[in-house]
Amino acid sequence: MGTTVEIYLYASSGERAAELLEAAFAEIERVEAALSAYRPTSEISRINATAARAPVVTDPEVFGLIALALDYGRRSDGAFDITVGPLVKAWGFFRADGCHPSPAELSEARAKIGWQRVALDHAERTIRFLTPGIELDLGGIGKGFALDRAAHILRRHGVTTALLGAGRSSYLAIGAPSGTEGWAITVPDPSDSARALSEVQLRDRSLSTSGADQKYFDLDGRRYSHVIDPRTGQPTTGMIQVTVTALTAIDSDALSTAVFVLGPERGADLIEDTAGATALLVAGYEGEHRVVAIEWSEAFDPRGR
């Protein structure tokens, strides 16, 4: 997943904590081994290598996750798209520092993406690509799925208080520390990392943040965000940061990306259509920030600097 994972938990002893952490991290490694597009032995790599030639039967877990991801593609009108990899590569964000693709390179990449070009047969549990060159990349929800699975393992072992985090952008809370309303998570002000835009008391929920400052490159006086709009083939503009809370980490991961691409108005429809979801957006350009709250119940700084 190209990130770090942290787990904080309460246990009856240090030995018990070590056992629980080992079980949780083993589950995260299992998910990584199945979903990583960087590993040639992963299930996703096997699907990518063969699904353009013939339908590929896959296991129920991976099939279900792909089906959920494609449903987010449908619900977001393509703003969230697990086939966007060729565009990410064209813009140089795949193990590179970023570059502006030529019109020909952009056209070639756009011909190889589209969530509608992935066909699922639920009865046979098969996946087939309708266009050569399609590749699946579950990076947009992989961290969330790993956190959900690790939390499931911890709950199964009786853990009632824990916080799981991936890359300082995705969190999942189980219960809350004694005497508190929840695990305190700071939503940073994108203009000043020393300031808090909001403080969230996270309890039995997830939180994910997508930001233009997480990965970008500057070229000819313009900043290009790593969040690509699959519908246009261009980096998303007009959005600075999106934080989403939801019932599962899969949901908050997918929604934060989709809403970042959709913007405040269309993003609000998606948030309001997802049970238990809330969002806090910082829209605009450098020097002109506008904070938009969608179902957000926590206090926040409306200035957004």
Which residue, among 300, 245, 251, has the nearest Cα to 278 in the 3D structure? Answer: 245
Average pLDDT on 60-74 reads 97
Looking at per-residue pLDDT, the higher value among 44 and 287 belongs to 44
Q: Cα(173)–Cα(155) distance, rounded to whole angstroms?
A: 11
Average pLDDT on 38-52 reads 95
Q: Cα(209)–Cα(171) distance, rounded to whole angstroms?
A: 9
Tokens for 135? 């590749």
Assign a CATH topology to domain 169-294.
Answer: T-fold (3.10.520)
| Residue 263 pLDDT class (50, 70, 90 cuts) | very high
CA torsion through residues 295, 298, 303, 305, sign: negative
Indicate if the pLDDT at residue 305 is higher than 60.
no
Tokens for 173? 């809370």
Map out the domains of the chain as residue ranges: 169-294
Q: Quick one: pLDDT at residue 219?
A: 61
pTM of the model: 0.92
